[in-house]
Structures are given as C-alpha cells and as structure tokens.
Structure 1
Amino acid sequence: MALLLDNVHVLLIANPESTTQTQKLFRRVVPALMALDGVSLEARFTHYGGHAEEMVAGLTVDDFDVIIPAGGDGTVNEVINGLLGSAEGDFRNLEDLPAIAVLPTGSANVFARALGYPTDPYAAADALVELIRKNHTRTITLGTWKGDDQGTRWFAVNAGFGIDADVIARVERARSFGFAASPLLYLQVSLRAWVKTQIKPPKITVEAVDSKGHKLQKEEVPMLLASNTNPWTFLGPLPVVTNPQNSFDTGLGLFGLTSVRGFGGVAAMMHLIGVGHGRKLEKLIAKRTIAFDDAEKVTLTCDSDQRFQVDGEYEGKPTKVVLESITDAVRVYAPKTHPTPPIMNWAVHLFKHVRDFLRVRTFGI
C-alpha cells in the first residue's frame, strides 16, 4: 500500500538513556522530518527492556503510517514483534500495518545496513528523511523461531547456537557488572568462547528444507548460523558474508562448521569473517563448512545446554529450536529495492565508511 505524503503520522521511539542517541543526531533528523509537508511527528521514550514492543502492540495505519525505532537490532526486533504480534496461526494483514523506517544508533545495526543505510549515523539519518520524503518502501522476508515450550516469535537479522550466542551471553553478563561493550571486551570474550569449543565442542543437529523442497539431511555441527540478511553481521564497517546469495527476498541462509579444532578449524573461522577465500584455502575447509540457501524451515536440536541468540540478544538454552521463513512479512523504508550481494572487499568498505563520515561532518552532505 503506497502512502501519499499527505497527513502522514510518524512515531519515533527512542531510549533516553542510550549514550549513542545524541542530541546532535536528533537535532538533525527531527526538524528535517517535521519540515516535510504533510508529516506529523510524535516521539515516545522507552524505559526498560521490552518497552518498545509494548508501545507498538496492536498499532495500525489508523494510528501511525510510519514507525521509526531509533536503536540497534534489538530495538528493531522489539518493534517487529510488537507490531506483527504472534508468529503463530494467522498473521496480521500487511496492508493494515505501519511501515518501519530505522534510525540506526546501535553498535552493529546489521538490519539497517543490510537494507542499504549508510554506516555513518548522520548519513543514515539523512537517508531516512529522504526515504520518507520519496515514500520509498519495500516488503521483506522475516524469520520466526520457536524454542521448547516458548511461543513463536519473529526475528529480522539472524539466529543461532554456538560461539556467537556464547559471546553475546558473556558480554551481557559483563555489562551487568558495569563493563562497557568495547571491542577489547568482545575480543577477550570471543577468545574464551573459542577455547571452550576446543575442550568440549557443542553438538548441534540441523535439518532443513528449502523453497524447492530440497533437503539438508541431518548434520551434527559445533556451530550453526541462520541469517535473514546479507551480510550476516559486521566487524565495524566490514561485512561478514556467510551466504552470498542470501537476501531479504529469499529464505534463510544457513552456515555451519563441522569442526572448530586444529588449523582447519581456525581456517574455517577466518573464512567465516571473510579472510582467505583463495582456492587453496577453500579446498582445505570444504569439508569443514556447510552452506544451505533459501531455507523455509530449519530444525536445530542440542543434546546439552547450549546458548542460543536471536538478533544479537541472548535467549537462553533451549534444547530444540524451529526456524521458519515468512515472505512479505513487513514493509520497510529502504535505500535499495533489491540490494545486490556485497562484495567482500575490505578496502572498498573501509573507503565507503570513511567517505560517509567525511561527507557528513566536513561537507554537510
């Protein structure tokens, strides 16, 4: 459903305690939105985890035309779950739901960046205003997950058992003791999680079927990632590509490591973050990796306590998780209608990151 830029009601959701949501950023985006003819803006502030989800629960286009979550992937996850409601049974009518436009202010912002938003927050803010002015929306695929006796919920970015979930849980625990989520903290926690896998590798059984009925038979792996985006995540300005053909227009992309031990395990992990894609290394790790694209349904089973994460948030230790892909689940404001898969060229992405930073702060573009 296309919106005319006339009498458009926008809801901005922000966290007043966030250190990344600066007054300078809001002074840039709020007046620009209010300057658009026919746009009215309302701001609401969150005060605890899950508050954004409660705020948007049950909202329709009769309430707001656009919802802007100012935050990272966790905030986007809350808004999606609140807006779409239960992921079981009949879904809410897409035409009745407000569109989502993201103001990325989190630490990674995988969702926004996979949609094509600039890495610099001020450039992203400018892009958001321009997208609303042009009414540039698209529909995207989302994932759902159900663990043990829990209800089924939505996810936008990724989900998985293994090292990534272990790192997220450990970082959250460190933050609860007052430590900042710095790159050094992530490095230390990641090394500890890696050592743990060498001593006692997790055992995760994965089964999947894609949109054409092709099946991934039972595989036992120590690490499994399911991504709804491409890239899967980012290391600063650098994309981490696990499934190059994955996108918001296809099913889930699965990437697993069959072994994390020895030199081959290290090589496979380096491959995961985009290092060493030459022929010799590809041949070395071919038997250590599993890649499966366009998955419609995925079943993950663990015979021991393993941490599980969804959109960068720790979700406990379920013994069984079922993931599904739902097409045309939500409308979003996105810079690109169909983004092309990113090329893993670290120099190019670093250049673009620096370019956006200089454009906004030096030239005011």
Structure 2
Amino acid sequence: MDVLLIANPNSTTQSDALFRQIIPRLREVPELHLCARFTHYPGHAEQMVRGLRRTDYELIIVVGGDGTLNEVINGLLGPVTDDNTSAFHPSHIPALAVIPTGSANVFARALGFPADPVAAALDLAVLIEGDFRRTICLGTWNHRWFAVNAGFGIDADVIARIERARAKGFSASPLRYLAVSLRTWFDAQRCPPAISAWARDRQGGELELHQVPLCLASNTNPWTFLGPLPVVTNPRNSFDRGLSMFVLRDLRGIKGVLAMVHLIGIGHRRWLEELIRDHTIQFDDIVELELRCEGPQRFQADGEFEGEWDHIRLATVPDAIEVMAPQYIPESTSRSWRVWLKNTLRLLRN
C-alpha cells in the first residue's frame, strides 16, 4: 500500500519526539510504503493533494488538526459542483486517515480515535492492517467542503481572535480557547449578531428563523472540544446523517448562561432541558441550509477563519469520502457533574 503522510509542523502538539514514536509503528504495517511531506504555509496541503488519485496513493494520513484535514479534503475533492456533489467518486481518490495534533481535533475524536496522537497512531496501524474503512458525509459551504462544523458570529469571532493570538506567538491551548470564548460571549451581549436561517431536512421539513444571535452548523457530534470537554449541540448527529443546526434565541439572562453551560456537557438532564427549551432550537438531518446576516460577518469552517460574508449556503453530501475509522465511537453527549468537574480540572491543569 502506497501511503502519503502530510504533517503540519505548526499544529499544536507536533514535535520531533512525536514523530520518533509514531513513524516506526506505521512502518511496521506489512507492505506499507510511506512517503512523508511537511506543509510550509496555509493552503499548502490542499495544493499537495490536488489531482491525486488512488492509483497514486491508496491512503493519505494527515498529521495535524481539523484545519489541515480541511485543506486535504478540499484538495482531493476539488470545488463542489453546481449540483452539490463531488466530481470524483470516493473509490477514485485516496482514502483518508488522521493522527490528531491540533487544538480541538474534532474530526479524529468524533470518528473514535483517542486525542493522544501516539495512541491514535497505534490504533490507526491496526486499522490499516485490518483494512477497516467507511464512507462519511461531508458538509459544503458555497463551493467548498467542510468536515466538522461551520458558522457565522460568535464561533467565527473566536477563531479570528485565536488566529491573531497565534500570529503573536501564543499557543492555541484549550484554556486560551476557553478564555477567548468567554470574552467573545460577553462582547456579544452588548452587540449580538443578527442571523437569519432557512433549513430543509431529509424528510422535507423546513425551519425558518430571523434575527437570532447564535446559529451553529455541524456535520458530526460533538460540535467541538475544549480540551477534554465535548461541546454538544446536537446529540443525535453523526458522520452518517445530514447537517445539524443549533440556535440560541437570546444570549442574555440566566437562561442564556444555562444554555451555554449545557453545551459544554453539564446538565444534559430533563429538568435543565425543559428550563432552556424556549431558548434553544435543534434541527437535525439537514440537506440544505442558508444563513444570512444584515451585513458582512466573520465565517469559519472547520476551525479556520474564512473571511467575512453576508450570505452562505450549506448542504450535505452523503458518502463523500472514504476514511480509516474505529468501529467503536465513545459516548460524548451525556455527562454527570462529577465527570464534568474532573474534565474541567484536567483542562485547567493543561
């Protein structure tokens, strides 16, 4: 098997010591021929894989975060066609695998890989030997692809602020994400975004909303991670279904605070869900979603800032790409307050 390994040396947890641990294990896989390349600038991974077919490499392993993975997906599949499909069948392009070294690593962890890159590499070697693979749905925005999440407003503002911090030499640690998220949340209280949305699900149901301050779109569950804490917006979502949308009607007041606490895993219990029911909206298995703003707003896809837009069209493409993935996916939606507290302390220690 010819395998191309693409590594982003600027991702959060990547180091020479890490490669000394993971490369030998991958090379132990029988009949695996490994070629490794490093990215040197944003967009480089997309350029590297553009035009590659399965006759070139059977598998591409991404050692990086969700942003690097997004580049590889867009490079392999090319622009989304006008009928919202890929120009290539999944069997014609290399399959995809990931060893997580980014900040959130949503894609890898949602597939069932451990967050630790060495443990993930060990699992991946077993999967390659056993040829455990599956196809997954991907999301699209305008003519590009995304794998885990996308959205206007607060989430995109957080990404933009994190990128500015990284440009100044600060690491994108989970604690920094938490601090920036809280600051962005409080800023949004004073001048909340005004987002309008229209969505249609696979059964033909429609939902239309106007002037909501928070609207998150996701292609899997959880929506993201803050260190060990899963941020759960739509528990029923997965890589096998359409997109999901989570909406907060109002950021202000105690119900707005409780709704945000609910997202980071504490309080997935009936009494709290009843209390915040009129503050939140969940809409699942979406095949088409349009988001509009009164003026240009920041937009993010897979944790990468994608500029400012006032109108975005999102959709889902089933069986878009083939991935190496574990058969067991850990539960990440329902957590007791004890588990939440334990994970929060881990986050603060890191």
Q: Same fold (TM over 0.5)?
A: yes
2:133 to 118, 131, 137: 137
**Aligned partner of 1:103: which letter?**
I
User: Distance in 1 between the 2:206 and 2:264 partners?
Assistant: 26
Please state if 1:308 is matched with 2:299: yes
CA-to-partner distance for each residue in 1:107-151, whole Å, 9 max, x for gaps?
A: 1110000000012221111011111111100000000001xxxxx
> Would you say the 8 A contact 2:294–2:310 is kept in 1?
yes
**Aligned partner of 1:101: which letter?**
A
Please state if 1:79 is matched with 2:80: no
Q: Decide whether aligned partners of structure 1 residues 203 and 349 sit closer, same or farther in structure 2, where only a CA change above 3 A counts.
A: closer
Calculate percent identity across the aligned residue pairs.
Answer: 58
CA apart distance, 1:172: 0.9
**Aligned partner of 1:344: which letter?**
S
Q: Give 5+ residue unaligned stretches, structure 2.
A: 344-350
Map 1:189-208 → 2, pairs under 5 A: 189-208=180-199
> Would you say the 8 A contact 1:239–1:344 is kept in 2?
no
Q: Decide whether aligned partners of structure 1 residues 176 and 124 sit closer, same or farther in structure 2, where only a CA change above 3 A counts.
A: same
Aligned match of 1:65 = 58
User: Distance in 1 between the 2:266 and 2:158 partners?
Assistant: 20
Aligned match of 2:321 = 330
Please state if 1:9 is matched with 2:5: no
User: Distance in 2 between the 1:136 and 1:75 partners?
Assistant: 23
**Aligned partner of 2:239: which letter?**
F
CA apart distance, 1:242: 1.1
Aligned match of 1:103 = 99
Q: Secondary structure at the match of 2:297?
A: coil
Please state if 1:345 is matched with 2:335: yes
21-30 or 75-84, which deviates more: 21-30
CA apart distance, 1:95: 1.4
TM-score by length of 2: 0.92
211-220 or 200-209, which deviates more: 211-220
CA apart distance, 1:28: 2.4
Q: Secondary structure at the match of 1:119?
A: coil
> Would you say the 8 A contact 2:299–2:309 is kept in 1?
yes
User: Distance in 1 between the 2:107 and 2:12 partners?
Assistant: 20
Structure 1 stretches of 4+ with a deviation exceeding 4 A read 346-352
Q: Secondary structure at the match of 2:276?
A: helix
Q: Give 5+ residue unaligned stretches, structure 1.
A: 1-7, 147-151, 353-365
> Would you say the 8 A contact 1:245–1:341 is kept in 2?
no
Q: Decide whether aligned partners of structure 1 residues 54 and 222 sit closer, same or farther in structure 2, where only a CA change above 3 A counts.
A: same
Aligned match of 1:157 = 148
Aligned match of 1:94 = 90
Instruction: Count the aligned residue pairs.
Output: 341
User: Distance in 2 between the 1:18 and 1:349 partners?
Assistant: 27
Aligned match of 2:119 = 123
> Would you say the 8 A contact 2:7–2:39 is kept in 1?
yes
Aligned match of 1:250 = 241
Q: Secondary structure at the match of 1:319?
A: strand
CA apart distance, 1:106: 0.7
CA-to-partner distance for each residue in 1:223-245, whole Å, 9 max, x for gaps?
A: 01111011111121222221111
> Would you say the 8 A contact 1:244–1:341 is kept in 2?
no
Q: Secondary structure at the match of 2:124?
A: helix
Q: Decide whether aligned partners of structure 1 residues 224 and 270 sit closer, same or farther in structure 2, where only a CA change above 3 A counts.
A: same
CA apart distance, 1:187: 3.5
CA apart distance, 1:183: 4.1
> Would you say the 8 A contact 1:168–1:312 is kept in 2?
yes
User: Distance in 2 between the 1:109 and 1:137 partners?
Assistant: 19
Aligned match of 2:346 = none
> Would you say the 8 A contact 2:296–2:308 is kept in 1?
yes
Q: Decide whether aligned partners of structure 1 residues 275 and 350 sit closer, same or farther in structure 2, where only a CA change above 3 A counts.
A: closer
CA apart distance, 1:22: 2.1
Aligned match of 1:229 = 220
> Would you say the 8 A contact 1:237–1:349 is kept in 2?
no
CA apart distance, 1:349: 8.4
> Would you say the 8 A contact 1:14–1:43 is kept in 2?
yes
Name the Cα RMSD after superposition: 2.1
108-117 or 171-180, which deviates more: 171-180
Aligned match of 2:348 = none
2:169 to 178, 183, 186: 178
> Would you say the 8 A contact 1:29–1:129 is kept in 2?
no
